[in-house]
Every structure is written in C-alpha cells, then in structure tokens.
Amino acid sequence: MSPLEDIRARIDAAARAAGRASDAITLVAVSKVQPLDRIEAILAQGHRVFGENRVQEAASKWPDFRARHDGIELHLIGPLQSNKVRQAVELFDVIESVDRPKLARRLAEVMSETGRHLPVFVQVNTGAEPQKAGCPPDETEALVAECRALGLDVRGLMCIPPVDDDPAPHFARLAALAQRCGLTGISMGMSGDFEQAIAQGATHVRVGSALFGARAHG
C-alpha cells in the first residue's frame, strides 16, 4: 500500500468511526519544501488537492505541474503578506489563511480587479500564540462578518494548534466557532492528529510528512 493509499484508508476509517461520510473530508497534500519527484508521484496516483505555505515557492513549481496535470486545486495554508496578495490570487485556488481585516480588504480589492473570486477560510489562533498567525478566537465572528461584507466567499475556519498541546480541545473550539459563524468548512488536523480532527468534524485535513516523508529542508 502506498502512503497515499494508507492515508486515504485512515481517513475512511476515522470518518466511519465518527459516523461521517469519507467523501465529506478533503485531503490537502502539504507539498511545501518537498522534492518535485515526490509531488509528481502523488500526482501520478491521481491526487489533485495540494497545500503550500509560501507564495514564492508555489510560484516556482506549480505552473509547470498545472501545465501537465488537469484539475489541480492549490490551497495557500501559510501566512499571507498584503504585498503578495495579487500573486497569491493568480496562483492559488483557495486561501486558507485570512487572519486580519487589512488582508481581507486587500483580497477583496484584488479579487474584484482580477475577476478571480476564490473561496477563503479564516485562520484562528486557537492557542493565542503571539508568534503564530491567526485571528484571536474572540474576534473570529467579527472578522467573518467583515469578510462577508466585503463580498469574500468565506467557506470555513482553519487552525494550527500549539505543537505541545493536546489538539482535541483546539479542534472542538474551532468546530464550535464555525457553527456559530454558520460555516461548514473546517480545516484542521495534520499528519500526527488528522484522525482526531475528523472525529471533531474536520472537512479538510492537511497532511505532509505522513504522505511525502520527511521534508527535504525547512
């Protein structure tokens, strides 16, 4: 069984255990700092949804992959600087890391100018970590409302729990916040905890090392 088949089987099992349909969960293959041949191998197996952290890195490899593979859906899952918004909107299909009003306003402006109206997720800093991107939990509803007022297509919420914390309370908090905001998309869970995330209602899980192996660098 390939790593991709193994991850898909584990997603199916976790979904069944939670009484959920496995096709309600999207596997986002996190391809940041992975060698091109590893990404090509996952593409060759038919997978098409990928996540990248950095605009510049994604720009260096995905246009070529898109030229050779149909149906790729590319998610930006890392912090987005306002000066990179135009390039991000041109390159990605989903922006998962909207975390502040200024960024939301810039995204709305660029999407209006370019005609590319991408789905977005609001990133929530569930652990209130000062060094980490994400909207404070108690400001999430206001940011979602502002995004909607700007005309952004807000599909859900995203979080990255603190490394040393039990992720389950963070997943539960994000799911509850999403419900309060009337959002069905919940992007949470990575290689070490995606099954817990599925149990708490994740609709998108972001898996890197368990799928590709250890990162080449970074």
- Report the alpha-carbon distance of residue 75 to residue 72 in Å, rounded: 10
- Continuous H helices in 18-54: 36-44
Residue 160 resides in a domain = yes
Residue 205 resides in a domain = yes
- Report the alpha-carbon distance of residue 130 to residue 136 in Å, rounded: 10
Q: How confident is the model at residue 121 (pLDDT cuts 50, 70, 90)?
A: very high
What mean pLDDT is predicted for residues 155-168?
A: 96
What mean pLDDT is predicted for residues 23-48?
A: 96
Number of domains in the chain: 1
CB 38 within 8 A of CB 59: no
Residue 140 resides in a domain = yes
Cross-strand bridge partners of residue 187: 158, 204
pLDDT in the model for residue 214: 76
The CATH number covering residue 162 comes to: 3.20.20.10
pLDDT above 80: residue 218 = no
Residues spanned by the domain of 115: 3-212
Average predicted confidence (pLDDT) for the chain: 96
pLDDT in the model for residue 48: 98
